[in-house]
Amino acid sequence: MSHGSAPAPAGGHPEAAARFVANEARTHWHDQALWFVREKRDKAASLVPDWEELRIAAAAIRAYQRGRLPELLEEFERNAVARGAKVHWAADAAEHNEIVHRILDERGVRRLVKSKSMLTEECGLNPYLEARGIEVVDTDLGERIVQLRQEPPSHIIFPAIHLKREEIGVLFHDKLGTPQGLSDPTKLTEAARGHLRERFMRAQAGLTGVNFAVAETGGVVVCTNEGNADMGTSLPPLHIACMGVEKLLPRLEHLAVMVRLLARSATGQPITSYTSHFHGPIEGGELHIVIVDNGRSRLLADTALRGLLACIRCGACMNTCPVYRRSGGYSYGWVVPGPIGSALAAARDPASHATLPFASSLCGSCDGVCPVRIPIHDALLKERRTLAARGLIPPGKRFALAFLALVLRYRAVYEAGGRILRFALRHLPRFVLYGPWNVWGRRRELPPAPKESFRDTWRRTRAAGGRSRG
């Protein structure tokens, strides 16, 4: 049984992250695994002479799309329907699930295979269908692994990146009957191939996400390395493709830009093994396209944050984020984690995700790797302002900073405060300075405090208007 949206951890990101970090060796292993992907991305991008121009073009394509999304969706629908696809519209997650279920139920489908779709995770599709007697098999290897473990994916491209091969070996021994102690990735993958092949052969329908939809042609594009989306859509006659409204591209020429950026940003490959373009149903079959809003129109209306809709779900921001690498996908409590996930979750529901815009040092590396140039760290900063304006900042923090701001408004108060601070740092006994109230002091020494501040020295050594003699 797979999982819908992960529930937000009670203490939010800081508490979940602290638990993750407590296992330092494992955190370093996780961090290194994701840094490795970042390095592969760098290598791939360095081989593309027009990389930075591509990103600029991609950002422009998304901005152009945002400015005419309703017309483009209508054009897409016309062209898709002309090709024999059926197009459905879902205002929210509940409607999306109902539509998918109805399509399956009307045709007596009891066995569904799925390829990766973060949208269906967002809508909680799997548990919805399973509760109604439909077997749902996630066929992406990483997704299948976490499905068998009854866990959500921890990364949108590498769902099982938080797991070691030995743990997957134990899982496969238990669920697939592989030999005990087998942990070789090639052999485990081979076992999964056989296990899932059987599911592909028996499936009555295949459900995929949509990487890109093209208004000009009415087609949907699905990119995979494993071939699972193609297995799932070539064998059973029924294909359901679920897409958020923001997945649309205006013209085929825009697809060229995106396809050149996607795999390089996500995994460091020049392109995925399969980039399949679907227009209309397979011979003797049906193609249903479900277009989903679920809060996207609200985000489009947000002048400060609408740029987040450009996201192509590549995961590059996660791989470069020093915080994500050291806290893992489960610390974020939303289906998409990391920088873009924090921004999207907090845009959707600030109160439930109040810690996420602060789960960032604002280093800005995410902006730099984003193939569509979303200013993610700016968005996080804006969301902090929204949280403050709505009184969703912890009162202690708000009070401390407001007090500090007051002190800083008056030179005499600031100077006196500085003197007191330095005196305290130099003279208070260690057990007082490093009491439990001192969060900084848990793992760090406080800075040594000088006797003189800069301005003390300046005043002492400079006569009025003269140059330094000291």
Partner 1 sequence: MRVALFVPCYVDQLWPGAALGAVKVLEAHGVEVVFPEEQTCCGQPMANAGLAAAAEPLARRFLEVFGGFEAVVCPSGSCTSMVRNHYDPFLAGAPGFDALKAHTYELCEFLVDVLGVREVRGSFPHKVALHQSCHGLRELGLGVASESMRPRTNKVDGLLRSLAGIELVPLARADECCGFGGTFAVVEEAVSALMGKDRIADHEKAGAEIVTGTDVSCLMHLQGIAKRDGRPLRFMHVAEVLAEALP
Partner 2 sequence: MDSRRRILDALRTASAPGAPAPDLSRVGVRWEDPVARLAEAVAAVAGKLVRVPDRSALPAAVAALATELRVARVGSAVAEVPGNVDLASISDPHLLEGLGLAVLPGAFAVAENGAVWVPCDAIRPRGAFVVAEHLALVVAARDVVHDMHEAYRRISFPGAGFGTFIAGPSKTADIEQALVIGAHGARSCTLYLVG
Question: For residues 11 and 270, which CB has a smaller minimum distance to partner 2 in the complex?
Answer: 270
Other Cβ atoms within 10 Å of 302 Cβ, number: 15
Torsion of CA 384, 318, 95, 216, to 10 degrees: 110
121 part of the interface to partner 2, by CB under 8 A: no
Q: If binding is defined by CB under 8 A, does position 90 make contact with partner 2? A: yes
Q: Is 10 in the site for partner 1 (CB under 8 A)?
A: no
Kindly state the smallest distance separating residue 382's Cβ from partner 2, in Å: 17
As a whole number of Å, the end-to-end CA separation of the chain is: 74
On the 0-12 / 13-18 / 19+ scale of CB atoms within 10 A, 397 is exposed
Binding partner of 424, given partner 2, partner 1, none, CB within 5-8 angstroms per partner class: none
Tell me the C-alpha distance between 292 and 307, whole Å: 18
Taking the least distance from each CB to partner 2, the nearer of 115 and 355 is 115
Q: Is the dihedral of CA 395, 397, 402, 406 positive or negative?
A: positive
3-state DSSP percent of the chain in helix, strand and coil, to 5: 55, 10, 35
Q: Rounded to whole angstroms, how far apart are CA atoms 33 and 328? A: 11
75 binds partner 2 (CB under 8 A): no
- Between 45 and 241, name the residue whose CB sits nearer to partner 1: 45
233-252 binders of partner 1 (CB under 8 A): none
Q: Choosing among partner 2, partner 1, none, which partner's interface includes residue 28 (Cβ < 5 to 8 Å by kind)?
A: partner 1
Residue 247 CB, nearest approach to partner 2 (Å): 14
Tell which residue, 65, 41, 43, has the closest CA to residue 300.
65
Per DSSP, the residues of 441-465 read GGTSPPPPPPSS-HHHHHHHH--TT
List the interface residues with partner 1, window 46-85 (CB under 8 A): 46, 48, 51-52
The answer to whether residue 408 forms part of the interface with partner 2 (CB under 8 A) is no
Residue with smaller CB distance to partner 1, 271 or 421: 421
Within positions 352 to 381, which residues make up the interface with partner 2, using CB under 8 A? none
List, in order, residues 6 or more apart from 368 with CB less than 8 Å away.
320
All residues at 6 or more sequence positions from 155 whose CB lies less than 8 Å from its CB, including other chains: 34, 161, 162, 315, 318, 329, 337, 338
282 binds, among partner 1, partner 2, none (CB under 5 to 8 A by kind): partner 2
Interactions with partner 2, residue window 210-229 (CB under 8 A) = 217, 219, 225-228
Q: Does 440 sit near partner 1 (CB under 8 A)?
A: yes
Residues 6 or more apart whose Cβ sits within 8 Å of residue 449: 421, 422, 423, 425, 426
Residues in 192-211 at the binding interface with partner 2, rule: CB under 8 A: 193, 196-197, 200-201
Q: Are 296 and 303 in contact (CB under 8 A)?
A: no
**Minimum CB distance to partner 2, residue 208 (Å):** 13
- Of 398, 424, 426, 432, the one binding partner 1 (CB under 8 A) is 398
Tell me the two tokens of residue 122: 């967002």
Residue 138 binds partner 2 (CB under 8 A):
no
In degrees, to the nearest 5, what angle opens at C-alpha 269 toward C-alphas 263 and 275? Answer: 50
Q: For 220, which DSSP code? A: E
Task: Verify binding: residue 394, partner 2, rule CB under 8 A.
Answer: no
Site residues for partner 2, 18-37, by CB under 8 A, read 33, 36-37
| Binding status of residue 188 toward partner 2 by CB under 8 A | yes
Identify whether the C-beta of residue 436 lies closer than 8 Å to the C-beta of residue 396: no
Check residue 67 for interaction with partner 2 (CB under 8 A): yes
Of 244 and 350, which CB lies nearer to partner 2 in the complex structure?
244
The option from partner 2, partner 1, none interacting with 73 (CB < 5 to 8 A, set by class) reads partner 2
Q: Is 255 in the site for partner 2 (CB under 8 A)?
A: yes
Token readout for 220 is 């949907």
Bridge pairing between strands 238-244 and 212-214 = unpaired
Work out which of 73, 241, 289, 344 binds partner 2, going by CB under 8 A: 73
Give the Cα separation of 205 and 233 in Å (integer).
8
Q: Does 454 interact with partner 1 (rule: CB under 8 A)?
A: yes
Minimum distance, C-beta of residue 443 to partner 1, in the bound complex (Å): 4
Which 338-377 residues touch partner 1, going by CB under 8 A?
A: 357-365, 367-369
Q: How far apart are CA 192 and CA 384, in angstroms?
A: 44
Positions in 277-316 near partner 2 (CB under 8 A): 277-280, 282-283, 291, 293, 297-298, 300-301, 306
- Using CB under 8 A, which residues numbered 280 to 339 contact partner 1? 320, 322-323, 326-327
Residue 385 touches partner 1, criterion: CB under 8 A: yes
